[in-house]
């Protein structure tokens, strides 16, 4: 399997990054980040109130093209609250791809709701709208305007597509499926800041949507997330819930329900304000990296570089190799990692994890196949500058 072409790939990666060990993805910071964070420290506004949180929320909402963004402590919390304010209740089933990061399933579980796994398509690495439609028509039954899972008797309430490695899913088709079955759409856009579907930014299609700014994402606040929506009332409710449901008052501690302490600290938002200024440069650099990899990988048998789906502009957050069936994933992973080129398989599919193996699920043939064939390779954007 390992022939001179693979050795050439490794050599080129080391030359590109000038590093003996090349990590999968590292954050890139500049002067603005340093200045804004320093400003927090100098003024003492490091914690739960301060102007950077407001600034970050405004800049993010503007970039995504939604009315409101609510900044929170991480992407998982953002998803949990997005689902809650969108209308997911205890015992509801929530459709999601089995091929996702654990947070998508956990956020649903935190609400006492049940993840329900369906297949993805090789076109996008995300939910397959056609397969979803056919599946729901066989497993579901519309009763009083809600979709009932005939096998479990529970309500299927929402669909959470995830834009894998930044590549947008087929949103028009998914929205049509959601309308047909009266399902709420909530995008897990944790990986897709800077990614567009038909010219419109991801995280602006669902009723309420979530993003992550963890250290490994395209833009980081250290740790952080955001809830995005065009619905002012839901945004206000999300803000209320994530700030311990405290009723605004000059001095009294009155809370009107069990809320959460999920607010993003000002220090993290300051870092995020600096990072957001660079999103376009990050995306441009990532797309250049795709061209660099494509040149080399197109000469290697048995592999292809995954490219953005039709009608989309992807942020190419993580560069992705797809192996042919003839290739052994673990052999490639072992080789690359031994050569100091950090490489990773995709997440173990949700329906194979012990906590989630008994959840409802459809046919997952494509997930099973992709699981054995996907490898992420170093994806840090270079020469981003100020
Ligand atoms: C990163 C990520 C999250 C969660 O974000 P955290 O900030 O790490 O909590 C959720 N879903 C997906 C698909 C992610 O990649």
pLDDT digits (tens, 9 = 90+) for 103-113: 999 999 999 99
User: pLDDT band at 361, cuts 50/70/90?
Assistant: very high
Percent of the chain with pLDDT over 70: 99
Average pLDDT over residues 28-36: 96
| Of 382, 346, 352, the residue nearest 164 (C-alpha) | 346
As a residue count, the chain comes to 386
pLDDT digits (tens, 9 = 90+) for 183-201: 999 999 999 999 999 999 9
CA of 131 to the centre of ligand 1 (A): 25
- Work out the mean pLDDT of the chain and round it to a whole number: 96
Say if pTM beats, i.e. exceeds, 0.85: yes
> What's the order of all strands across the beta sheet hosting 68-72?
68-72, 225-229, 209-212
- Atom 10 of ligand 1: nearest residue by CA position: 103
pLDDT digits (tens, 9 = 90+) for 338-355: 999 999 999 999 999 999
With the most atoms of ligand 1 within 8 angstroms of its CB, the residue from 78, 98, 101, 213 to mutate is 101
Ligand 1 proximity of 221 Cβ (cutoff 6 Å): no
CA of 190 to the centre of ligand 1 (A): 5
- Atom 7 of ligand 1: nearest residue by CA position: 75
C-alpha 35/C-alpha 70 separation (Å) is 23
pLDDT above 70: residue 118 = yes
pLDDT of residue 1: 67
Ligand 1 proximity of 74 Cβ (cutoff 6 Å): yes
pLDDT of residue 3: 82
Question: SS3 for 212?
Answer: strand
CA of 78 to the centre of ligand 1 (A): 9
pLDDT above 90: residue 322 = yes
pLDDT above 90: residue 161 = yes
CA of 212 to the centre of ligand 1 (A): 6
| 3-state class percentages of the chain: helix first, strand second, coil last, to nearest 5 | 40, 20, 45
C-alpha 41/C-alpha 353 separation (Å) is 43
C-alpha 103/C-alpha 318 separation (Å) is 18
CA angle 218, 222, 228 (to 5 degrees): 65
Ligand 1 proximity of 202 Cβ (cutoff 6 Å): no
| Of 183, 156, 188, 194, the residue nearest 169 (C-alpha) | 188
pLDDT of residue 158: 98
- Atom 2 of ligand 1: nearest residue by CA position: 190
User: pLDDT band at 383, cuts 50/70/90?
Assistant: confident
Ligand 1 proximity of 225 Cβ (cutoff 6 Å): yes
C-alpha 366/C-alpha 118 separation (Å) is 10
* Contact assessment for residue 101 and residue 190, using Cβ atoms and an 8 Å cutoff: yes
Ligand 1 proximity of 103 Cβ (cutoff 6 Å): yes
User: pLDDT band at 90, cuts 50/70/90?
Assistant: very high
In the chain, which ranges are E strands?
68-72, 93-97, 114-118, 140-143, 146-149, 155-159, 184-185, 196-197, 200-201, 209-212, 225-229, 303-305, 312-313, 319-323, 344-345, 374-377
C-alpha 79/C-alpha 62 separation (Å) is 20
* Contact assessment for residue 97 and residue 265, using Cβ atoms and an 8 Å cutoff: no
CA of 135 to the centre of ligand 1 (A): 27
C-alpha 290/C-alpha 287 separation (Å) is 5
Average pLDDT over residues 26-54: 93
Q: Which atom of ligand 1 is nearest to the CA of 217?
A: 1
pLDDT of residue 47: 84
pLDDT of residue 48: 78
Q: Which atom of ligand 1 is nearest to the CA of 225?
A: 7
CA atoms within 13 A on the CB side of 120: 25
pLDDT of residue 49: 79
Average pLDDT over residues 205-232: 98
Backbone angles phi, psi at 240, to 5 degrees: -60, -50
C-alpha 189/C-alpha 204 separation (Å) is 9
Average pLDDT over residues 101-125: 98
| Of 256, 282, 205, 320, the residue nearest 28 (C-alpha) | 282
* Contact assessment for residue 108 and residue 84, using Cβ atoms and an 8 Å cutoff: no
pLDDT digits (tens, 9 = 90+) for 12-21: 999 999 999 9
- Lookup: tokens for 194: 């800077």
CA dihedral (369, 372, 373, 379) positive or negative: positive
Q: Which residues are bridge partners to 96 per DSSP? A: 117
Q: Which atom of ligand 1 is nearest to the CA of 162?
A: 13
| Of 341, 345, 353, the residue nearest 372 (C-alpha) | 345
- Atom 13 of ligand 1: nearest residue by CA position: 101
With the most atoms of ligand 1 within 8 angstroms of its CB, the residue from 81, 214, 226, 272 to mutate is 214
CA of 75 to the centre of ligand 1 (A): 5
- Tokens 């899972």 belong to 149
Ligand 1 proximity of 376 Cβ (cutoff 6 Å): no
* Contact assessment for residue 159 and residue 178, using Cβ atoms and an 8 Å cutoff: yes
């Amino acid at each position: 399997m390992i022939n001179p072409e693979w050795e050439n790939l490794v050599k080129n990666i080391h030359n590109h990054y000038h590093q003996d060990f090349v990590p999968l993805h590292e954050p890139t910071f500049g002067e603005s980040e340093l200045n804004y964070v320093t400003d927090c420290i100098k003024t003492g506004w490091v914690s739960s109130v301060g102007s950077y949180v407001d600034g970050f929320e405004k800049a993010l909402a503007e970039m995504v093209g939604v009315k409101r963004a609510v900044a929170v402590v991480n992407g998982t919390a953002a998803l949990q609250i997005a689902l809650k304010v969108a209308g997911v209740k205890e015992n509801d089933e929530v459709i999601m791809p089995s091929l996702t990061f654990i947070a998508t399933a956990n956020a649903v579980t935190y609400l006492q709701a049940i993840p329900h796994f369906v297949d993805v398509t090789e076109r996008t690495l995300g939910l397959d709208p056609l397969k979803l439609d056919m599946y729901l028509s066989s497993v579901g039954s519309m009763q009083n305007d809600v979709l009932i899972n005939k096998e479990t008797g529970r309500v299927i309430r929402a669909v959470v597509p995830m834009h894998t490695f930044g590549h947008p899913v087929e949103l028009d088709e998914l929205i049509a499926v959601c309308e047909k079955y009266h399902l709420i759409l909530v995008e897990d856009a944790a990986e897709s800041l800077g990614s567009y579907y038909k010219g419109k930014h991801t995280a602006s299609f669902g009723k309420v949507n979530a993003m992550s700014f963890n250290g490994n994402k395209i833009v980081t606040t250290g740790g952080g997330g955001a809830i995005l929506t065009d619905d002012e009332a839901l945004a206000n409710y999300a803000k209320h819930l994530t700030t311990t449901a405290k009723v605004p008052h000059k001095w009294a501690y009155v809370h009107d329900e069990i809320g959460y302490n999920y607010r993003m600290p000002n220090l993290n938002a300051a870092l995020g304000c600096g990072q957001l200024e660079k999103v376009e440069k990050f995306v441009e650099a990532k797309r250049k990296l795709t061209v660099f990899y494509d040149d080399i990988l197109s000469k290697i048998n048995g592999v292809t570089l995954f490219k953005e789906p039709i009608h989309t502009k992807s942020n190419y957050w993580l560069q992705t190799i797809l192996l042919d069936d003839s290739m052994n994933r673990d052999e490639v992973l072992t080789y690359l990692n031994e050569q100091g080129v950090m490489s990773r398989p995709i997440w173990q599919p949700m329906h194979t994890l012990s906590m989630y193996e008994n959840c409802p699920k459809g046919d997952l043939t494509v997930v099973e196949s992709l699981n054995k064939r996907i490898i992420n390779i170093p994806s840090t954007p270079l020469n981003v500058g100020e």
